[in-house]
Amino acid sequence: MNDIYTNNYVIVAIFLILGVLLPVATVSFIGPLLRPKKPTKEKQTTYESGNIPVGDSWVRFNVKYYIFALMFVIFDVETLFLYPWAVVYNKLGLFALVEMVIFMSLLVVGLIYAWRKKVLEWN
Are the C-beta atoms of 57 and 79 separated by less than 8 Å? Answer: no
Is a pLDDT exceeding 80 seen at residue 56? no
Per domain, the residue ranges of the chain are 1-37, 56-123
Are the C-beta atoms of 76 and 105 separated by less than 8 Å? Answer: no
Give the CA angle between residues 100, 77, 66 to the nearest 5°: 130
Is a pLDDT exceeding 80 seen at residue 100? yes
Instruction: Give the model's pLDDT for residue 24.
Output: 93
Tell me the average pLDDT across 93-118: 87
Instruction: Give the model's pLDDT for residue 19.
Output: 95
What CA–CA distance (Å, rounded) separates 92 from 89? Answer: 5
| CA 44 from centroid of its chain's CA atoms | 29
